[in-house]
Amino acid sequence: MTSETIQAHFVATRERAARVGLCVAILLVVAAMAVPAVTGWDVRAGAFPPLHSIWVPRVGPGTPLAVLLGVLACVWAERAARWSWPQLLGAVYLFGVLWMLALATVDGIQGIGGILDAKTEYLQTARSVTDVGALLRGYIDRIPLDSTGHWPVHIAGHPPAALLFFTGLVRIGLGSALAAGMVVTFVAASTTVATLLVARRLGGETPARAAAPFLAVGPAAIWMCVSADAMFAAVAAWATLLLACAATSRRNWVTMTAGLGAGVLYGMCLMLSYGLPILGILAVIVLALARAWRPLPWVAAGVIIVVAGFAMLGFAWWEALPVLRNRYWAGIAQHRPGLYWTWADLAAVTVSAGPWVGAGIAVAIVDVRRSTADEADTGRRVVAWLAIAGALMCAAAAASQMSRAEVERIWLPFVPWMLLATGLLPPPWRRVGLIVQVAFAIVVQTLLYTRW
């Protein structure tokens, strides 16, 4: 076969894979919505599973801005992909902030961080913290549901760094729901920047440029603006960028400092969420793509510094995890059927990422199987593996049975990596796909009140 014939074969294979992946994504979401509705099965997730949501059609002050931004994104996407790298990253960040705020304010100004003031969330408790040392020493004792003064749901369900983040905001005068929501939004928008930089650092700049609009706008922004998990996603993305820098640098001091920095941030991820050890999948794939394992000792040292530091202050992660597991199964999780949520969680994260993620992941699977010396194909394989890492992390989280429902929020740290796969799609697919993603986000936010 000639090279032209082989190339044509792969183009056709990618087209078929994209169609199959899109169909699977749509069918998965439809099935997850239809099964409880048709059977009357109470899966304990509000009125519109697989999302933790209720049906509340509405428009608000943010609706016109969301529509305008969506149109601009679709019109300027291809042109923006040719901008200089700093211009592209700046535009992606600013556009991402505006997109998140526009979707949030469909519910008015209270849509920006209002949920953070709920009794199940962080701010009310953060305002009452007066002694951080005592907080850490007594943290585990207050996780069980039957303990005296037990923690609210979100605080009990996370290690203390999440609460300490909001405690810090309170102490510097940013403890209102609006102020905290704005901080989370500005931090969350940097996730896209770090994700794109990782792809570029590993040699996948061209498909990363093509994927940039999908990371800047899309349904995930509905939850990014109002959820602490969006802040977790940013910490994870910047940790991975430092790891990529450590793995690709030829300077020993860069490998050491960047590797140690990556370890510290990954360690902070462990102190933010019990589910984020799954980031190890992404870290291993980054090191494998860079073909460099030298940073590992420095990364491990950074993680140990953070975990041991918290332990010396009174919070031992390994002691807290089994206590949290008992609290988790003592709550609503025991009533959420695993027979449904093991696969419906994947439908929920498909809604969060948008249906075009299915097409992208399918093409990524095709691309990782292709082995050539062509530079363009190497870049595609890099992005394909990063996207597959995102999908594998979701699969591992689902298999753990510790994420029954609410994963449209909980799995935000995994979503941007999967969305990188949209940069592997053929140009016509990307043009149509961006329109679908934008419209899908606006429709979801307009029709459903998602509670996060």
Give residue-wise pLDDT tens across range 12-34. 899 999 999 999 999 999 999 99
Beta partners for residue 45, in sequence order = 47
pLDDT digits (tens, 9 = 90+) for 32-52: 999 999 999 999 998 899 999
Mean of per-residue pLDDT scores for the chain: 95
| Residues 116 and 176: beta-carbon distance below 8 Å | no
Mean pLDDT of 81-87: 95
User: What share of the chain in percent tops pLDDT 90?
Assistant: 91
Does position 400 have pLDDT exceeding 80, yes or no? yes
397 vs 11: which has the higher pLDDT: 397
Helix H, strand E, coil C: the string for the chain is: CCHHHHHHHHHHHHHHHHHHHHHHHHHHHHHHHHHHHHHCCCCCEEECCCCCEEECCCCCCHHHHHHHHHHHHHHHHHHHCCCCHHHHHHHHHHHHHHHHHHHHHHHCHHHCCHHHHCCCCCHHHHCCCCCHHHHHHCCHHHCCCCCCCCCCHHHHCCCHHHHHHHHHHHHCCCCCHHHHHHHHHHHHHHHHHHHHHHHHHCCCHHHHHHHHHHHHCCCCHHHHCCCHHHHHHHHHHHHHHHHHHHHHCCCHHHHHHHHHHHHHHHHHHHHHCCCHHHHHHHHHHHHHHHCCCCCHHHHHHHHHHHHHHHHHCCCCHHHHHHHHHHHHHHCHHHHCCHHHHHHHHHHHHHHHHCCHHHHHHHHHHHHHCCCCCCHHHHHHHHHHHHHHHHHHHHHHHHHHCCCCCCHHHHCHHHHHHHHHHHHHCCHHHHHHHHHHHHHHHHHHHHHEECCC
Summarised one tens digit per residue, pLDDT across range 64-73 is 999 999 999 9
What average pLDDT does this structure show over 173-191? 97
| Predicted local confidence at residue 377, as pLDDT | 82
Whether pLDDT at 155 is above 80: yes
Q: What are 228-241's pLDDT values in tens digits?
A: 999 999 999 999 99
Residues 30, 385: Cα–Cα separation, whole Å: 27
For residues 224 and 267, is the Cβ–Cβ distance under 8 A? no
Q: Residue 369's pLDDT is what?
A: 82
**231 with 412: CB under 8 angstroms?**
no
Per-residue pLDDT reduced to its tens digit, 279-331? 999 999 999 999 999 999 999 999 999 999 999 999 999 999 999 999 999 98
The mean pLDDT of 151-173, rounded to a whole number, is 97
Please determine, for residue 278, whether its predicted confidence score (pLDDT) is greater than 70.
yes
Q: Are 19 and 334 in contact (CB under 8 A)?
A: no
Residue 1 has pLDDT above 70, yes or no: no
pLDDT digits (tens, 9 = 90+) for 338-396: 999 999 999 999 999 999 999 999 999 999 987 665 666 889 999 999 999 999 999 99
Domain definitions of the chain by residue range: 3-449
pLDDT tens digits for range 233-268: 999 999 999 999 999 999 999 999 999 999 999 999
Return the closest-CA partner of residue 346 out of 394, 308, 299. 394
378: buried, middle or exposed (CB in 10 Å: 19+, 13-18, 0-12)? middle
pLDDT at 226: 83
Band of pLDDT at residue 7, cut at 50, 70 and 90: low
Rounded CA separation 237/1 (Å)? 41
- The pLDDT score that the predictor gives to residue 143 is 97
Kindly state the average pLDDT of the residues 181-196: 98
Measured distance CA(4)–CA(355) in Å, rounded:
32
Length of the chain: 452
